[in-house]
């Protein structure tokens, strides 16, 4: 007898991209003024979970760490087809960096859904762009993991994944249980059905976990457990400096590499200045 | 008294806004220009419950509350009023009368395909000589064995060109009895039922508004809605709910035009300053914001009364009267703020301007709303 596949999707509430108000004095986001939404990559992770549910049958638990208002993204996920929502919330969790966040989420998953088969996370968030929480959870939970996947195919306990890496597609395989972070490249997330939205509020309760429930030292959560210090936040200044290279194709190519080796190297991920051809 | 929207209503707004901006935004201009009904978007809306908004779950609907309903119509209309019109007419005056007055057999037969959007509903009261005077319908129904034979012409039927189910208001004359108004559920495949040409209208051009012809159209007894002679009651009940939908639609148009005006006023430079820095423009924007907010409060009050199973007809009439009037005022000011560009079809405010006007006319003109409101006011102060 096979048991129901147990999926966990970690989602984060981020400010609406279209409503991102900045305080020009401090350079910080005025989070309390912006409407909240599911982080776009997390929405793709949820879509990947919903596709697995549709094809294989699964129970999807969505989990988020945040203030009470983050209940909204859990309700939205339930409306889209998730089965259970968990809000991990405690004033002592405020100000968490990625390390403290991944620790809290890992503890919450161990506490509330220890028998998970697969954890799906967005590959990064639109409000901080670190892309660290998923990989850190892989370490914390000591499970196999793949980052930046954009397509999943499950066959028994074997998960095949594809990810775009530079200009080629990698196909990987991973035994469950594991964790995968999902990009926004494929499978546009479904729209929320209005009947599902009504049910998400009338038929399902959100489970809540506090720091005490996780049996976690408060020194390891929130700002206290966060080694990352933000020194400054600012908007980059856009510039339009154009350089016109003239001459023969060979001369232009030479100038290009002489003058812009750092930019070209950065784009393709190679140290061009010290690059040596293979013998 | 809490004036803050609850989490559910905030999510309904964002959900519908996401859909509208992504799916309707890119085509709203084109379907208005070409007077094209966008079936490709309708297919996407069908699975998201837009056609079963207030239809009970047991018949496949979403059974949303009235505030969620109003927000849905408001957000669709903020981007594309023609589609907002299609959805609200289908739901409020197409499906709801069947839900409220239909037999169980009729509900089981008609509501599931209406909830899925497979069959779109229409409400056919207006005729060449009837409209505001609901009792003046000249479409005639003659009782025969197992049903009625109907003859007449309905005009300005919203969703007329695409409807699968049409509620026909007709006068029944039989023997010496006093003529009565009855409602019949006509189906598009019935012999004698046909659709006229799509009207070439000022606004709402993506909605196929048309005439419907009934020529010796035989309607079986199973398709008679409500008691014999209850036509006026069904019409007035349906229109009470319908007014919530049209008020929401008008509010959405006003909101769309208002946002366009704010954006443009910040971009448009005159005398080396954005025009939003001039007090005249600021006054316009302040008036628009205040009126939209007032309209929204009137509308949601009517919805809250309806959800609380309290009388809401007068409040719905007030909301419809006020929201439609601010839709025309707001779109007028939005066009003024846009100047010459606003008069061009290049900018959305020109479409909003054309779409707004009819909200003062259909589902009860502003004059009829004043009649409804004044009757209530006078009866309360005897």
Three-state DSSP class for residue A32 = coil
At B224-275, the pLDDT tens digits run 999 989 999 999 999 999 999 999 999 999 999 999 999 999 999 999 999 9
| Contact between A75 and B50 using a beta-carbon 8 Å cutoff | no
pLDDT of residue B221: 95
What's the CATH number where A49 sits? Answer: 3.40.50.620
> Would residue B75 count as lying in a domain?
yes
> Would residue A18 count as lying in a domain?
yes
Could you give the residue ranges of the DSSP H alpha helices within chain A? 40-56, 71-80, 98-112, 133-141, 194-202, 211-214, 249-268
Backbone angles phi, psi at B191, to 5 degrees: -60, 135
At B10-37, the pLDDT tens digits run 999 999 999 999 999 999 999 999 999 9
> Would residue A24 count as lying in a domain?
yes
pLDDT of residue A1: 46
Say yes or no: A131 and A174 in one domain: yes
User: A50-54, A264-268, B73-77: lowest mean pLDDT where?
Assistant: A264-268
Say yes or no: B310 and B220 in one domain: no
> Would residue B54 count as lying in a domain?
yes
Say yes or no: A13 and A134 in one domain: yes
Say yes or no: B242 and B360 in one domain: yes
Using CA coordinates, name the residue in chain A closest to B46.
Answer: A193
Say yes or no: A201 and A251 in one domain: no
Q: How far is CA A10 from CA A83, A102, A165, B185, in A?
A: 13, 10, 24, 50
Q: Count of domains in chain A?
A: 2
Which of B167, B157, B153, B136 lies closest to B215, judged by CA? B153
**Region B91-106 average pLDDT:** 97
Say yes or no: A250 and A274 in one domain: yes
Residues A32 and A267: their CA atoms lie apart, in Å, by: 36
Asked if A181 contacts A49 with a C-beta cutoff of 8 angstroms, the reply is no
Say yes or no: B145 and B219 in one domain: yes
At A245-265, the pLDDT tens digits run 989 999 998 888 888 888 888
Say yes or no: B170 and B220 in one domain: yes
Half-sphere exposure of residue B272: CA atoms within 13 angstroms, side-chain side: 0
Say yes or no: A247 and A137 in one domain: no
Q: How far is B149 from chain A (nearest CA, A)?
A: 39
Say yes or no: B259 and B366 in one domain: yes
pLDDT of residue A36: 86
Asked if A133 contacts A121 with a C-beta cutoff of 8 angstroms, the reply is yes
> Would residue A175 count as lying in a domain?
yes
Say yes or no: B15 and B77 in one domain: yes
Residues A71 and A28: their CA atoms lie apart, in Å, by: 24
For all residues of chain B together, what is the average pLDDT? 95
What's the CATH number where B237 sits? Answer: 1.20.140.10
Residues A16 and A14: their CA atoms lie apart, in Å, by: 6
Write down which residue in B119, B151, B169 finishes a domain. B119
| Contact between A75 and B7 using a beta-carbon 8 Å cutoff | yes
At A138-162, the pLDDT tens digits run 999 999 999 999 999 999 999 999 9
> Would residue A232 count as lying in a domain?
no
Q: Count of domains in chain B?
A: 3
Range of the domain at B22: 7-119
Model ipTM value: 0.91
Write down which residue in B98, B119, B140 finishes a domain. B119
User: A15-29, A176-190, A239-253: lowest mean pLDDT where?
Assistant: A15-29
Look at residue A165 and tell me whether its pLDDT is greater than 90: no
What's the CATH number where B189 sits? Answer: 2.40.110.10
For all residues of chain A together, what is the average pLDDT? 89
**Region A197-202 average pLDDT:** 95
Say yes or no: B97 and B131 in one domain: no
Q: From the list B8, B14, B62, which residue is nearest A37 (CB)?
A: B14
Backbone angles phi, psi at A264, to 5 degrees: -65, -45
Range of the domain at A274: 239-279
Q: From the list B11, B14, B49, which residue is nearest A195 (CB)?
A: B49
> Would residue B2 count as lying in a domain?
no
Tell me which of B21, B74, B363, B367 is the catalytic residue.
B363
Write down which residue in B64, B87, B119 finishes a domain. B119
Look at residue A28 and tell me whether its pLDDT is greater than 90: no
| Contact between B7 and A37 using a beta-carbon 8 Å cutoff | no
Say yes or no: A214 and A86 in one domain: yes
Say yes or no: A30 and A89 in one domain: yes
Catalytic residue check, B199: no
**pLDDT bucket at A31, cuts 50 / 70 / 90:** low
| Contact between A191 and B48 using a beta-carbon 8 Å cutoff | yes
> Would residue B1 count as lying in a domain?
no
Single pTM value for the model = 0.90
Look at residue B367 and tell me whether its pLDDT is greater than 70: yes
> Would residue A155 count as lying in a domain?
yes
């Amino acid at each position: 007898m096979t048991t129901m596949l147990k999926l966990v999707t970690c989602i984060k509430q981020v400010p609406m991209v279209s409503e991102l108000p900045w305080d020009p004095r401090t350079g910080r986001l005025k989070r309390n003024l912006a409407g909240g939404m599911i982080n776009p990559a997390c929405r793709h992770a949820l879509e990947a979970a919903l596709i697995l549910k549709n094809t294989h049958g699964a129970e999807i638990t969505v989990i988020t760490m945040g203030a009470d208002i983050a209940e909204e993204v859990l309700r939205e996920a339930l409306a889209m087809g998730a089965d259970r929502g968990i809000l991990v919330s405690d004033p002592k969790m405020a100000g968490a960096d990625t390390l403290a966040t991944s620790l809290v989420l890992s503890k919450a998953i161990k506490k509330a859904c220890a028998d998970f088969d697969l954890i799906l996370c967005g590959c990064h968030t639109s409000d901080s762009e670190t892309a660290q929480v998923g990989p850190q959870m892989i370490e914390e939970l000591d499970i196999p993991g793949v980052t930046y996947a954009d397509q999943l195919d499950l066959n028994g306990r074997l998960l095949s994944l594809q990810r775009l890496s530079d200009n080629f597609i990698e196909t990987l395989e991973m035994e469950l249980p594991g964790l995968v972070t999902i990009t926004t490249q494929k499978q546009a997330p479904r729209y929320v059905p209005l009947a599902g939205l009504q049910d998400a509020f009338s038929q399902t309760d959100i489970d809540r976990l506090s720091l005490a429930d996780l049996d976690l030292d408060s020194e390891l959560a929130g700002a206290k457990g966060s080694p990352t210090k933000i020194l400054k936040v600012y908007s980059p200044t856009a510039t339009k400096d154009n350089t016109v290279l003239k001459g023969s194709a060979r001369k232009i190519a030479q100038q290009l590499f002489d003058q812009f080796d750092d930019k070209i190297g950065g784009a393709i991920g190679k140290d061009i200045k010290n690059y040596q051809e293979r013998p | 008294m809490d004036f803050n929207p609850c989490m559910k209503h905030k999510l309904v707004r964002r959900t519908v806004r996401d859909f509208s901006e992504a799916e309707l935004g890119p085509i709203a201009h084109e379907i208005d220009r070409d007077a094209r009904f966008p079936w490709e978007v309708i297919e996407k809306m069908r699975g998201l419950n837009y056609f079963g908004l207030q239809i009970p779950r047991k018949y496949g609907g979403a059974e949303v509350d009235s505030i969620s309903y109003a927000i849905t119509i408001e957000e669709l209309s903020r981007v594309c009023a023609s589609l907002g019109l299609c959805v609200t007419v289908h739901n409020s005056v197409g499906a709801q009368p069947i839900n409220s007055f239909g037999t169980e057999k009729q509900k089981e037969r008609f509501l599931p395909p209406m909830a899925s959007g497979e069959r779109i509903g229409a409400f056919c009261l207006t005729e060449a000589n009837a409209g505001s005077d609901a009792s003046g319908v000249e479409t005639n129904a003659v009782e025969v064995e197992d049903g009625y034979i109907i003859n007449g012409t309905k005009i300005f039927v919203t969703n007329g060109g695409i409807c699968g189910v049409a509620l026909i208001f007709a006068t029944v004359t039989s023997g010496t009895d006093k003529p009565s108004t009855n409602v019949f559920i006509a189906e598009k495949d019935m012999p004698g039922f046909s659709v006229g040409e799509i009207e070439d209208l000022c606004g709402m051009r993506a909605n196929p508004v048309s005439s419907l012809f009934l020529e010796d159209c035989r309607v079986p007894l199973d398709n008679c809605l409500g008691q014999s002679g209850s036509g006026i009651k069904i019409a007035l009940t349906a229109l009470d709910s319908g007014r919530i939908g049209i008020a929401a639609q008008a509010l959405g148009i006003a909101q769309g035009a208002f946002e366009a005006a704010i954006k443009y006023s910040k971009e448009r430079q005159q005398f080396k300053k954005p025009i939003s820095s001039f007090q005249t423009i600021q006054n316009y924007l302040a008036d628009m914001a205040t009126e939209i907010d007032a309209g929204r409060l009137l509308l949601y009050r009517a919805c809250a009364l309806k959800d609380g199973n309290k009388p809401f007809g007068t409040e719905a009439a007030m909301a419809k009267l006020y929201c439609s009037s601010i839709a025309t005022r707001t779109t007028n000011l939005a066009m003024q703020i846009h100047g010459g560009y606003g008069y061009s079809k290049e900018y959305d405010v020109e479409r909003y301007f054309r779409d707004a006007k009819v909200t003062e006319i259909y589902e009860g003109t502003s004059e009829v709303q004043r009649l409804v409101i004044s009757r209530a006011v006078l009866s309360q102060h005897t």
